[in-house]
Amino acid sequence: MFIYLNGDIVKDKEAAISPFDYGYLYGIGFFESFRIYDGHPFLLDDHLDRLNKALQEVHINQRFTRASMQSIIERLLNVNGWQHASFRLSVTAGKGEPALRTLAFEEPTILVYGGPLPEAPMELQEKKASVLTIRRNSPEGSERWKSHHFLNNLLAKQEIGNPAVEGIFLDQFGHVAEGITSNIFWVKGNTVYTPSVDTGILNGITRQYVLSLCEKRGITVEIGRYPLSALLEAEEIFMTNSVQEITGIHEVDGSSFPGKAGQITNELFKHYTQDRNELWTRNG
């Protein structure tokens, strides 16, 4: 497999990063994962906007545009012979002295790698979920970015122990927060509910797309802090993730839900399938 590293396309086994990279020493870095549909990077502008804001907050001197990122994507798709794929764009603070400093980071490490995917499904998928005992930690700063600080997620994955099951975090007060690698939504009485970002969740790109889609389709949405009972009393539950798309939840700890048969979940997924090959931004 070929990857992109600091301006070059290299074989993955030949890539080298300094042992003094602040991404390795201190976990200072951010990433975005996005899906490629027949060569098109769905919602790329939104992913780059979130990444650029995160980089600015910690003074990493790097900004991305659609054109610059699309050039990298096209090069990687061509050299690897892929048409449908997922990619991860990762940016760390780069090489520095082995002691934490507060200056701006002028030479970040930029890594883009991915893998091929089958053609995207036209039917809604579903999976099980389970409520975690480990609580969602608070964000490192004013809001949660998609950072390299992933220990909370790793501990949650280890608690679940099954990659086919999505773990659901509660926040420190017992409110529903998010999945290990997803945002959570549920439906009751023709209203879509989802936790607010002040529960400490990542403001996912697909989450933002679904909220925008609901507004366009006239679907009522409520965003707030909700107890676990609100989730378990739902008529439909679904999760969102930039690679797994919109996925129905058919079971939570033994309680059954419609999953891929959910009416509103299917309506949203139908529009997702119509948008995923052409939209650059949820506002497009």
pLDDT the model gives residue 260: 97
- Which two structure tokens, joined as six digits, stand for 94? 């780069």
Least confident segment among 41-50, 87-96, 134-143, 232-241: 134-143
Mind spelling out the 3-state secondary structure of 126-172? EEEEEECCCCCCCCCCCCECCECCCHHHHHHHHHHCCCCEEEEEECC
pLDDT range class, residue 140, cuts 50, 70, 90 = confident
Residue type, 226: Y
Write down the residue that tokens 């996912």 correspond to: 204
Are 249 and 35 in contact, with CB atoms under 8 Å apart? no
Are 167 and 157 in contact, with CB atoms under 8 Å apart? yes
| 141 has a pLDDT exceeding 90 | no
Mean pLDDT of 74-79: 98
Cβ partners under 8 Å of residue 88, min gap 6: 31, 32, 33, 111, 112, 113, 114
**Which contacts qualify for 68-76: CB closer than 8 Å, 24 or more apart?**
69/41, 69/44, 70/41, 70/44, 72/4, 72/112, 73/36, 73/41, 73/112, 74/39, 75/4, 75/9, 76/2, 76/3, 76/4, 76/9, 76/112, 76/114
Mean pLDDT of 99-116: 89
Mean pLDDT of 206-224: 98
pLDDT the model gives residue 281: 98
Q: What percentage of the chain carries pLDDT values higher than 90?
A: 94
Mean pLDDT of 7-17: 96
pTM of the model: 0.96
Domains of the chain with bracketed CATH = 2-116 (3.30.470.10), 125-275 (3.20.10.10)
Q: CA separation (Å) from 267 to 68, 147, 233, 240, 256? A: 34, 32, 21, 14, 20
pLDDT range class, residue 248, cuts 50, 70, 90 = very high
Phi and psi of 23, rounded to 5°? -70, -35
pLDDT range class, residue 219, cuts 50, 70, 90 = very high
The rounded Cα 215 to chain-centroid distance in angstroms is 21
